[in-house]
Amino acid sequence: MRHALDTLYRMAGWLAAFCLVAILVLVALQVGARLLDWGLTSLGTGATGFAVPGLAEIGGFLLGASTFLALAETLAKNVHIRVDLLTTRLPERPRQILDGVVALIGAALAAFATYALAALAMKSLTYGDVSYGLVAVPLALPQGCLAAGLLVFTIALIDEAVLAFSGDDRISGGGESI
């Protein structure tokens, strides 16, 4: 179980990282083509005129997908920030219970958000909504990624609550400390 969950978070995290790499590659192609055209025009030959179609919209969608797909992995690696003024001052057992309750509240919110984004994606699918730019991207695709990321995040938050109640202290440290 533990292994399966960690694998799930990691896979979603890799997908998220892949989205960032995709942004990098697309923008690099665009800027590279612009540089090439500069060179070609100054040599007096015709420019290629290449541009990544719909880059701004697609880049935005990739960022959204990356953000939400990475939520669970970010939680598991304790990178989401929180204020721990109160929790760190409590004795161990009450703190674990409070952490568990807070993780459950978080899970409820994330579950609600999962439902909301899934409904949004379903509606976009039903109506065949597409984006406005040079490439008509079906909106259900990126919106589905957001919903999927939130679903994994919900699972991770429940996982977090179980860990806290069972006395495992994973969440009480502070960020990536320096």
Buried b (16+ CB within 10 A) or exposed e, 23-39: beebeeebeebeeebee
User: Cβ of residue 85: shortest distance to another protein, in angstroms?
Assistant: 6
**Would you count residue 170 as binding another protein (CB under 8 A)?**
no
**Would you count residue 154 as binding another protein (CB under 8 A)?**
no
User: Cβ of residue 151: shortest distance to another protein, in angstroms?
Assistant: 14
Maximal CA-CA distance, the chain: 75
Binders of another protein: how many residues, by CB under 8 A?
84
Rule CB under 8 A: choose which of 5, 111, 129, 162 binds another protein: 129
User: Cβ of residue 13: shortest distance to another protein, in angstroms?
Assistant: 6
- Interface residues for another protein in 56-115 (CB under 8 A)? 56-57, 59-64, 66-68, 70-71, 73-75, 77, 79-87, 98-99, 101-102, 105-106, 109-110, 112-113, 115
CB closer to another protein, 93 vs 176: 176
- Interface residues for another protein in 6-35 (CB under 8 A)? 13, 16-17, 20-21, 23-24, 27-28, 30-31, 34-35
User: Cβ of residue 77: shortest distance to another protein, in angstroms?
Assistant: 6
What's the 3-state SS for the chain? CHHHHHHHHHHHHHHHHHHHHHHHHHHHHHHHHHHHHHHHHHCCCCCCCCCCCCHHHHHHHHHHHHHHHCHHHHHHCCCCCCCCCCHHHCCHHHHHHHHHHHHHHHHHHHHHHHHHHHHHHHHHHHHCCECCCCCCCECHHHHHHHHHHHHHHHHHHHHHHHHHHCCCCHHHCCCCCC
**Would you count residue 41 as binding another protein (CB under 8 A)?**
yes
User: Cβ of residue 178: shortest distance to another protein, in angstroms?
Assistant: 5
Rule CB under 8 A: choose which of 39, 94, 167, 173 binds another protein: 173
